[in-house]
Amino acid sequence: MQPKSNSIFNVTVIVAALGYFVDIYDLLLFSIIRVESLTSLGLTPEQLTTDGESIISWQMGGLLIGGILWGMLGDKKGRLSVLFGSIILYSLANIANGLVTTVDQYAMVRFIAGVGLAGELGAGITLVSEMTPKEKRGIATSMVAGIGLTGAVVAFIVKENFHWRTCYFIGGGLGLALLLLRISVFESGMFNEVKKMNVKRGSFFMLFTNGDRLKRYILAILIGLPTWFVIGVLVTFSKEFAEHFGIKEKVDSGKAIMFAYAAISAGDIIIGFVSQWFRSRKKALFLFYGITIFFMVLYFTVLWNSTASAMYWVCAGLGFGTGFWAIFVTMGAEQFGTNLRATAATTIPNMVRGLLAIAIIPLFKWLRGIEGLGYVQGGMYAAIILMAVTLIAAAMTKETFGKDLNFVEE
């Protein structure tokens, strides 16, 4: 068992950050190479949108299911079991993605990759949270996310220099190489102690059998909604929004994602220190919600008849504003006892990702289909609805800064 380290740059944090780096590279790769890969499969411009939405929905559906499976496994068998198993699955799936020849194959392999990708972040954040002193927990998890999120920037750079199939092969290879580093990581001491206790571990249904626990769980999910609305709709489909805004220059959605994730990475590191300064997770969260809303307003106003460069910079602003992913996931881990912590911390971010497929994109499609609204206004009204839900949920969420995590759920 590895003792808690006073340094935020201990082996656990570094390996978790590198694991999340590979996770984000693979998670965002489809969005970055969507146009090139689907065009090479013979799809029409209209199908780039419709089939692109379908494939990303399959991937997010895989994340939703995988989050439950890996979360339960993390509490039953240990955090390291998830870190090893998930990376093997999504690495092999990404290699297979480089071999697809049809849209159906593409969707199915992205689903399998999604299942694998679901385990990385939650298990990593749980492990880091349990092995870092509570006074530095927020900074440590922010470093994991901040470093990890640069995987999207690297994915764009790779896309600019290699064929889209090679991009998938590189992602798979990076994942398999990471397995060697995982050998140096120890299991959480808190988990090892709970294993000796006579308590139920890793029961997903326990999250629903107690009113207070269910409320904590639902609120923990809802406070993260803006992240995947921004990335999954406003940034991923920035090319389509640009056309409706009347932007004459071609907008590269992959480049927009690179700008957004470079800024998200910075935001995720900064919010850890902001949270430490405020001595509050919630105050830091509301500050970043405000930044997100500001850039949403710019997105739907100043981009009309603007430039591709303006689109990229607004996407960067949106990315910085949604750079609360680390704090959001950390709050999820801090809300629950050690016997349910991995289940909660792994399912919560994947529920948000899954909601992109089952709620956020359907809401956007429904709104843009209403007579008199259209594509842009549909996106604007979706933003208003989702931010309203998020702000209410955040107001109802309990503060978790400095919380002692050495407890169990009965």
pLDDT number for residue 190: 81
Helices 238-245 and 308-321 cross at an angle (nearest 10°) of 130
Long-range contacts of 242-246 (CB under 8 A, 24+ apart): 242/303, 242/308, 242/311, 244/374, 244/375, 244/376, 245/303, 245/304, 245/305, 245/306, 245/311, 245/376, 246/304, 246/305
CB–CB of 110/62 below 8 Å?
yes
Whole-angstrom distance, CA of residue 139 vs CA of residue 15? 16
Tokens 């999120």, residue located: 149
Whole-angstrom distance, CA of residue 384 vs CA of residue 8? 37
**250-276 per-residue burial string, b: 16 or more CB within 10 A, e: under 16:** ebbbbbbbbbbbbbbbbbbbbbbebbb
| Torsion angle in degrees (nearest 10) through CA of 36, 41, 46, 50 | -90
- pTM, two decimal places: 0.86
pLDDT number for residue 6: 58
pLDDT number for residue 220: 97
Reference 13, options 109, 139, 150; nearest CA is 139
pLDDT number for residue 106: 96
Domains and CATH numbers, the chain: 11-183+203-396 (1.20.1250.20)
Q: Which two tokens stand for residue 12?
A: 């656990």
Question: For 210-258, what is each residue's pLDDT tens digit?
Answer: 999 999 999 999 999 999 999 999 998 999 999 999 999 999 988 999 9
pLDDT number for residue 1: 47
120 Cα distance to chain centroid: 10
Question: For 317-349, what is each residue's pLDDT tens digit?
Answer: 999 999 998 899 999 999 999 899 999 999 999
Whole-angstrom distance, CA of residue 268 vs CA of residue 141? 9
Residues of the chain with pLDDT under 50: 1-3
Whole-angstrom distance, CA of residue 396 vs CA of residue 216? 9
Q: CA dist 27 to 76, 181, 211, 214, 338, Å? A: 26, 20, 33, 28, 28
CB–CB of 67/104 below 8 Å?
no
Residue 132 has φ and ψ, to the nearest 5°, of -120, 140
